[in-house]
Copies of this chain bind each other. A is one copy, B any other.
Amino acid sequence: MSWKPTLPQWPILQWGREIDRQGLADDALAGVIVAVMIIPQSLAYALLAGLPAQAGLYASIVPLVLYALLGSSRVLAVGPVAVVSLMTAAAVGEFAQAGTAHYAEVALALALLSGLMLTVMGLLRLGFIANFLSHPVISGFITASGLLIAASQIKTLVGVQAGGHNLPEMLTSVLAKWEQVHGLTLAVGLATLAFLFAVRSRLKPLLRAWGLSPRAADLLSKLGPVAAIVVTTSAAAVYDWHAQGMKTVGAIPPGLPPFTFPTWDLALWGQLAMPALLISIVGFVESVSVGQTLAAKRRERVDPDQELVALGAANLGAAFTGGFPVTGGFSRSVVNFDAGARTQLASLITAAGILLATLLFTPALFHLPQATLAATIVVAVLSLVDYKILARTWRYSRPDFMALMATLVMTLLQGVETGLVVGVALSLALYLWRTSQPHIAEVGLVPGTEHFRNVQRHQVLTVPQLVSLRMDESLYFANARAIEDRINQAVARQPALRHVVLQCSAINDIDASALESLEAIDERLRDAGLQLHLSEVKGPVMDRLQRSDFLEQLSGRVFLTHYQAVQALTPELTAAAAPHTGA
């Protein structure tokens, strides 16, 4: 029940010393490859978040540098990611109209709050909060987010104005404007989609057939979006599609990321607190799981508390330089790793590359069709959708399946925040419900051993004077009554009963409510002429019981092993079951 705050560490002091010539070359290559990949992604996710395209570039410079200095993963690439951008759009859309200056201000406040929360959670070692997001809830949420993001891009692919923060809203909002579909935009969007799907499924085998190494083929096929952007942007510039009514990225002011000071509006902060918390936790979970997966491949370690501090600093950086909430991204980190990055130096080089692009190349992005970016988003997020997990979870555990489905359906129908909150609440409620209905087994002696197993599942020995009950749950307030009921039932069933022995091997704790129940049980058994005994009580549980007067009052005894209890109370049973060694 105690934890200590942690002080920020500077992992750069560690890896900074290890860089040699070869490492520098590896990191430089990886950093450039990631920069090329990240530029279109960051533009696309800024649009997904409802912000001007340059916000994506700004969010990919200072945050990367801060994570590089503080992060404990050597290869994690931080920046705008799909799910967090969707959550940002949902949260900010509650308070401002997309495209307005106020909208950008609210997004900065969200990044600031998220940064503060992550930093504080890290310093107070509260990373365990993320453990309450169960895998089924995350699976349901990520799959639903992928579908929501894809649906949100339909409007851009067909060139109409539409909105909505859940699936029905998005679909009806686009369908209502179906007659305004812009033919040229639709054509470019569909062509890009077809190209990207083809690259995804065909290019890699083709490159392998041409003799490229698997890694090179993999990396090259991930540059498909960059090729699509170059081609469609050139075509748009040559044929001046912008003048024909196609939405393009438009004018981006070249220059350094601006210094922005997030609005000091406490009422707004209060209303943003819940979405900021959800964004922080989802971002943290996504980031840490990517980081740990990649670290394990090289036998490195990722420290979750340090990650919280580093991601917090990255978001604070985004808040003060015109960005929006960021986190460690899956696909870019994998590219970074596969491209040979050894340290966060690669991220520093990526940040330098994006800064260079922001200073020099933004005019080249004027003609980039928004439909092209939408197509890259759709192809990227459909990989988040995982249908197989549904069948697998259904087979393994109904409660987990319920939590998964509730999160999935509620996210699609009610949006990201409701979906996530319902999922977490339901998974906690199902856990509490299950532990409040404990499995209690009557056990008997396995002949020839000192071991006891469930009488309903195994051929075991019992005697009518003694009942052995194994509680398969810690005893706490929610299940104290169930245990009373079960013992009453056992007593009512066996008239010859003299001893009730509770095998406590699965009891990890007995809280004050359960202690009162045990006292009541003991008193009732004593009144009826029976004795209550305990066996295999664990150390921590015994320590606690000794702080009450329960053990002094207990009608029976406490035995180290269940076998010793049965041997002492009903020797005839253990004699009958003894192994015939040397006899």
**Which positions in A face B, CB cutoff 8 Å?**
1, 128, 131-137, 296, 392-393, 395-400, 427-428, 431-439, 441, 449-451, 454, 457, 472-474, 476-482, 505-509, 511-513, 515-516, 524, 538-540, 544, 547-548, 560-561, 563, 581-582
Q: Which of B400, B451, B511, B515 contacts A399 (CB 8 A)?
A: B511
| Interface pair A1/B398, CB less than 8 Å apart | yes
B131 touches A480 (CB 8 A): yes
Q: Which of A131, A137, A515, A548 has the most CB of B within 10 A?
A: A131
Residue of B nearest to A509 (CB): B434
A398 to B511, CA, bound (A): 10
Please state if A479 and B400 are interface contacts (CB–CB under 8 Å). no
Contact of A135 among B454, B516, B563 (CB under 8 A): B516
Contact B477 A134 (CB under 8 A): yes
Residues of chain B within 8 A (CB-CB) of A433 are 1
Q: Cα distance A392–B396 when bound, in Å? A: 43
Q: Roughly how many angstroms separate A425 CA and B486 CA in the complex, as a whole number?
A: 27
Asked whether B474 lies within 8 Å of A435 as measured between CB atoms, the reply is: yes
Point out the residues of chain B lying under 8 angstroms from A296, CB to CB.
524
What are 23 inter-chain pairs, A to B, with CB distance below 8 A?
A: A131-B436, A131-B479, A131-B480, A131-B482, A132-B477, A134-B478, A135-B516, A136-B512, A137-B477, A393-B512, A396-B512, A396-B544, A397-B512, A397-B544, A400-B513, A431-B511, A439-B540, A449-B561, A450-B451, A457-B539, A472-B540, A505-B505, A506-B506
Within the assembled complex, what's the spacing in Å between the Cα atoms of A104 and B582?
84
Measured CB to CB, the closest approach of chain B to A507, in angstroms, equals 8
CA distance A561 to B445 in the complex (A): 13
Establish whether residues A548 and B396, one from each chain, have CB atoms under 8 Å apart when the complex forms.
Answer: yes
Question: CA A482 – CA B3 in complex, angstroms?
Answer: 14
- Contact status A436-B128, CB under 8 Å: yes
CA distance A513 to B450 in the complex (A): 34
The reply to whether A132 and B436 contact each other, CB–CB distance below 8 Å, is: yes
Known: A296-B524, A506-B507. 18 other contacts (CB 8 A): A1-B434, A131-B479, A133-B477, A134-B476, A135-B477, A137-B477, A397-B511, A400-B512, A400-B513, A428-B428, A431-B511, A435-B474, A439-B508, A449-B450, A457-B539, A472-B540, A506-B506, A581-B581
The 9 closest A-B CB pairs, nearest first, are A134-B477, A135-B513, A400-B512, A472-B508, A582-B582, A506-B506, A505-B505, A134-B513, A131-B478
The interface residues of chain B lying within 8 Å CB-to-CB of A507 are 506
Residues of B within 8 A of A128 (CB): 436-437, 478, 481
Q: How far, in angstroms, from A256 to B432 measured CA to CA in the complex?
A: 47
Residues of B within 8 A of A582 (CB): 581-582
A515: chain B residues at CB < 8 Å are: 396
A212: min CB distance to chain B, Å: 28
CB of A501, distance to nearest CB on chain B (Å): 16
Docked pose: A493 CA to B513 CA in angstroms: 39
Chain B residues in 8 Å Cβ range of A450: 449-451
Closest residue of B by beta carbon distance from A548: B396
With A and B bound together, what is the CA distance between A128 and B524 in angstroms?
Answer: 22
Task: Flag if B473 contacts A135 (CB, 8 Å).
Answer: no
CB distance from A432 to the nearest CB of B (A): 7
> A452 to nearest B CB, angstroms?
10
List chain B residues, Cβ under 8 A from A393. Answer: 512
Which residues from chain B contact A135 at a C-beta distance below 8 Å?
477, 480, 512-513, 516
